[in-house]
Amino acid sequence: MEINKAVEKIQNQLLNYHQNGNKLCITSSFQSHSLPLLHIATRALPSIDVLFIDTGFHFPETYAFRNQIAEDWGFRLVNVQSKTAKNQQIATSGEFLFANNPEYCCHINKVEPLNDAIEKYDIWVAGLRRDQTKFRATLNEEEILASGVVKFHPILDWNSKMIYVYAQQHHLPKHPLEAKGFLSIGCMPCTTNIDTEMERNGRWYGSKKSECGIHLNK
């Protein structure tokens, strides 16, 4: 797929959604590989809301990078947070849920808050790619969620080389932890910098978990 044509296709679809009266948002984790789509979307639609799921457990570098990108690019950042206080996220064993029950931790810190947030929108733009996981390989470009929101996956058929080329062409910055071997960066307790070619293998390392859950609900 030729990148310029792929970018033009995304821009046209976003503009088409907007011109048809839809309210759009895009979710971003502010990782290096997330920035190309964020860059494309915020230039096509400067008014688009950029949703960041703020679990309270991110690396300090992620928060600083998020703030810098938002300031430099000038978009509207919407921080999505859980209604469950951190002192209510401790299991009877005394451990935080991320250690004791990571599925439930993701549910209350990511899934529930985002589900509430996207109900305000007609179109949710998400940067999933088929080459990332087996689950993501099964997705369609457009999916209608139970809530009626249309979830749009504009870079589903992109690969890591296309992400790299676009980032180089537009001189996009890199997440500071990438230089330390972190290829996929989520919450600090559940992210590892391991030597692997698979982008998401450092997430929930040592478990069968590969998704936080926000993309599993339909």
Q: Which residues does the annotation mark as catalytic?
A: 212
Nearest to 121 by CA among 63, 45, 56: 45
CA nearest to 127, candidates 16, 34, 6, 11: 34
189 CB burial (10 A radius; 0-12, 13-18, 19+):
middle
The runs of H, that is alpha helices, within 29-82 are: 35-44, 60-73
Contact between residue 29 and residue 59 where contact means Cβ atoms under 8 Å apart? no
Q: Dihedrals φ, ψ of 161, to 5°?
A: -65, -40
Helix (H/G/I), strand (E/B), else coil: 202: coil
Burial of 106 (0-12, 13-18, 19+ CB in 10 A): buried
